[in-house]
Amino acid sequence: MNAPKSATVRTNASIARRLATGARLLPRGVLRVEAAAALDSLLASGYALTQTGVIARALAEAAETRAL
């Protein structure tokens, strides 16, 4: 019987799959106070479920708006 995979192994596999489809791994950084407050507000409002989700959705929406 195979032992269950650890959370680290599952996470690394998930990241590898996403990177293989063209996703991008971003470096760590520090948000300005205003940006951090906006991130918290958007999370609280249900804009997206995670910080990464908020950032991804906001970037996609900004790109759509700019393309118009």
Domain boundaries, the chain: 30-68
- For residue 23, the model assigns a pLDDT of 95
User: What is d(CA 41, CA 13) in angstroms, rounded to the nearest whole number?
Assistant: 31
Give the pLDDT of residue 1: 72
Q: How confident is the model at residue 67 (pLDDT cuts 50, 70, 90)?
A: confident
Q: What is the pLDDT of residues 7-56, one digit of tens each?
A: 999 999 999 999 999 999 988 899 999 999 999 999 999 999 999 999 99
Look at residue 31 in the predicted model and tell me its pLDDT.
95
Nearest to 47 by CA among 33, 60, 30: 60
